[in-house]
A and B are shown apart, each in its own frame.
Chain A
Amino acid sequence: MDTNQVLINYVQTELAKGRKSEIKPDDDLLSEGILDSLGILQLVSFLEETFDIEVDDEDVVLENFMTISAINDFIQSKK
């Protein structure tokens, strides 16, 4: 499974909890309320475990988490 799909699956099932039926790579996760403060923390732990990367506090910024694509780019930059 490609990274985008892994991310979409996780966000869809664990974070969106049915709030949105289909998440696309360029959907704004913040405006649509899919990601909240708690969700971001969960997502960060998920990224660290799944992709074996270290996410610093400085990395947890809007630019890196706005969309699935942005999160994907961020993961690649950390590898």
Chain B
Amino acid sequence: MKNIYMLHQSVELFAETTPDKEAVRFNKESLSYAELFEKSQQLAFVLQTHGVKRGDRVGIFMYKNIYSAVALYGIMAAGAAYVPLDPYAPPNRIEYIIKNCEINIVVCHDRKKAVLEEIEPNLSLSAVIGIDSIESNKTPVISWDTVFNSPSELANPFHGTEQDIAYILYTSGSTGVPKGIVHTHRSGLSFAKWAAETYQLTPNDVLSSHAPLHFDLSTFDFYAGSLVGATTVLIPEALTKFPANLSKWIQDEKITVWYSVPFALIQLMQRGKLSEKNLSSLRWVLFAGEPFPTKHLRELMKIISHASFSNLYGPTETNVCTFYNVEPIPEDQNDLIPIGKACHNIEALVVDEEGQVVADGEVGELYIRGGVVMLGYWGRPDLTEKGFYKRNSFDQFLDIFYRTGDLVQLRPDGNFRFLGRKDRQIKTRGYRVELDEIETTILSHADIQEAAVFPVSDGDGSHLIEAAVIPRADSGLTTDHLYSLLNENLPNYAIPSKIYLLDDFPRTSTGKIDRRALQDLTKNLI
């Protein structure tokens, strides 16, 4: 078999060996491996014709649809890295990412055209692919029809290496602007190969694609799937909001491997009437992104008792680095299940504040080394430098570890226990959010004197976000003013569910905000 060392090569391989096998499906539309390969080559051809070179970044700004897969593979086949732009993010944020990442071409579709038209005059794009016209007439547009009437033979086939950049995922940044996590073909493939082997994926598998493309869970759905010639089925975003629709979807699409954040599974269980569905095809339920509350996981495992469950752990910077195949959970267990052991070919260290490896069983920060680790943060050498720890090797080389910022502890059974964050990053229903980014955004309002953003429990193992602010005296500021500012700059999931306007905050003796007392105070305001 051909050696696969870049993420898009598996599609080419199966286009030769099993051309008619279904590669991706969305609603009633479907593409075989041969069709997916041809269409992604045509897109690559068009991209190259419009100047895309090795290492360039190309944006994907679409709701999920059958061409999402064409965009992923086509952009990489052209030698570029793809940058998924959250279709629900406000225009300001999209504009920031396009500029920050120096994206020249965006792959789009009609349903996102209006938002693109809003920001396009402020950008200097060389082309937009997937729409028929653009209001300003400034940027050339190429319709999907034109793309699919283009040659599929590249004039300049991409001769890359596994070390070429493949995709950049933007996530919340603590400095107030999003940061781009840069992955290579190697880091993406290291994870995909591990996953395909660990979960024994076969061409008969049908994988769900639940996570948005800008969320790292999506790399499993596509690349672990295509690595074995399996089928990936994209879930329309709207359906993910309706558990009753979604549980029927899993049944009707005969999904064999499910992968999502715990929140989606809890919703399915509580409101999706899962137990009445025929889920006999399902053989793996994989979850990641956040701790799964034990009582809910135990209940879910009873409902889908024939399937196996696995907890995958890893910040976006490392894809996945530890995993735990869930054993049956005793009725009286309330402790969280562990995040497990390091995946093959990954070294995990637990390190204290002084940078010393702790004794087994002591609490420390998890450092990760291996093929899955990112290259760095786009355009932020300072953050990249801070993110890595370099261990002297043989007094002449350096072993590079990513500092996860997660606190862990090795259990006597050899599995890691997750204890929380070192910093102010939180997860809200699977989404990663830096509380400081929200604070910085609120503080950018001229009428705000001070702001404190904090997480509150949602009662189901995850967090909601709340904010308390001190407006300038006589400014007449209302929460509506703040919400419109936040909505212009932050994705929905980072918008505080409540904002409290206060005259002052509780303080510590040194004058700092007493965040604990502040949270107690706001709790009693409702």
Mark contacts of B435-461 with chain A using CB atoms, 8 A cut-off: 1 yes-contact digit, 0 otherwise: 000000000000000000000000000
Contact assessment for B271 and A33 in the assembled complex, using a CB-CB cutoff below 8 Å: no
Contact assessment for A19 and B242 in the assembled complex, using a CB-CB cutoff below 8 Å: no
Contact assessment for A57 and B88 in the assembled complex, using a CB-CB cutoff below 8 Å: no
Q: Is A68 an interface residue (CB 8 A)?
A: no
The tally of CB-CB contacts under 8 A between chains A and B is 55
Contact assessment for B484 and A60 in the assembled complex, using a CB-CB cutoff below 8 Å: no
Most A C-beta atoms less than 10 A away, residue of B238, B272, B429: B238
With known contacts A30-B237, A33-B492, A36-B492, A61–B487 Cβ distance under 8 A:
no
What residues of chain B have their CB less than 8 Å away from a CB belonging to chain A?
A: 63, 88, 90, 111, 237-245, 263, 267, 271-273, 429, 480, 483-484, 487, 492-493, 495, 497
Interface of B is mostly: helix
- A36 CA to B63 CA in the complex, in Å? 15
A30 CB contact (under 8 Å) in B241, B271, B272, B429 = B241
Q: Which residue of B lies closest to A20 (CB)?
A: B487
- A9 CA to B224 CA in the complex, in Å? 45
Contact assessment for A57 and B238 in the assembled complex, using a CB-CB cutoff below 8 Å: no
With known contacts A18-B487, A58-B244, A38–B239 Cβ distance under 8 A:
no
22 contacts between A and B (CB under 8 A): A17-B487, A17-B495, A19-B487, A19-B492, A30-B238, A31-B237, A33-B88, A33-B492, A35-B241, A36-B493, A37-B241, A37-B429, A38-B497, A57-B243, A59-B244, A60-B242, A60-B244, A61-B245, A62-B238, A62-B242, A62-B245, A65-B242
- A62 CA to B493 CA in the complex, in Å? 20
Q: Is A40 an interface residue (CB 8 A)?
A: yes
- A62 CA to B236 CA in the complex, in Å? 11
- A59 CA to B238 CA in the complex, in Å? 15
Q: Which residue of B lies closest to A63 (CB)?
A: B245
Within the complex, the shortest CB–CB distance from B482 to chain A, in Å, comes to: 9
Most A C-beta atoms less than 10 A away, residue of B242, B492, B495: B242
A62: chain B residues within 8 A (beta carbon):
238-239, 241-242, 245
Contact assessment for A18 and B245 in the assembled complex, using a CB-CB cutoff below 8 Å: no
Q: Which residue of A lies closest to B248 (CB)?
A: A61
Contact assessment for B271 and A57 in the assembled complex, using a CB-CB cutoff below 8 Å: yes
Q: Which residue of B lies closest to A16 (CB)?
A: B487
Within the complex, the shortest CB–CB distance from A28 to chain B, in Å, comes to: 8
Mark contacts of A21-64 with chain B using CB atoms, 8 A cut-off: 1 yes-contact digit, 0 otherwise: 00000000011010111101000000000000000011111100
A30: chain B residues within 8 A (beta carbon):
237-238, 241
B111: chain A residues within 8 A (beta carbon):
31
| A-B CB proximity, top 8 nearest | A30-B238, A18-B484, A33-B88, A17-B483, A57-B271, A19-B487, A18-B483, A61-B245
How many residues in A have their beta carbons less than 8 Å from beta carbons of B?
A: 19
Q: Which residue of B lies closest to A33 (CB)?
A: B88
Contact assessment for A31 and B273 in the assembled complex, using a CB-CB cutoff below 8 Å: no
- A18 CA to B480 CA in the complex, in Å? 7
- A50 CA to B181 CA in the complex, in Å? 46
Q: Which residue of A lies closest to B111 (CB)?
A: A31
B493: chain A residues within 8 A (beta carbon):
36
With known contacts A37-B429, A38-B497, A57-B272, A31–B63 Cβ distance under 8 A:
yes
Contact assessment for B244 and A57 in the assembled complex, using a CB-CB cutoff below 8 Å: yes
B263: chain A residues within 8 A (beta carbon):
37
Within the complex, the shortest CB–CB distance from B348 to chain A, in Å, comes to: 33
Contact assessment for B480 and A61 in the assembled complex, using a CB-CB cutoff below 8 Å: no
- Within 3-22 of A, Cβ neighbours of B (below 8 Å) are at 17-19
With known contacts A31-B238, A36-B492, A57–B429 Cβ distance under 8 A:
no
- A59 CA to B243 CA in the complex, in Å? 10
Contact assessment for B242 and A40 in the assembled complex, using a CB-CB cutoff below 8 Å: yes
Within the complex, the shortest CB–CB distance from B290 to chain A, in Å, comes to: 14
- A31 CA to B109 CA in the complex, in Å? 13
- A33 CA to B111 CA in the complex, in Å? 13
Contact assessment for A37 and B267 in the assembled complex, using a CB-CB cutoff below 8 Å: yes
A38: chain B residues within 8 A (beta carbon):
429, 497
- A38 CA to B438 CA in the complex, in Å? 19
B271: chain A residues within 8 A (beta carbon):
57, 60
Q: Which residue of A lies closest to B263 (CB)?
A: A37
B492: chain A residues within 8 A (beta carbon):
19, 33, 36
Q: Which residue of A lies closest to B458 (CB)?
A: A38
With known contacts A17-B495, A37-B267, A61–B242 Cβ distance under 8 A:
yes
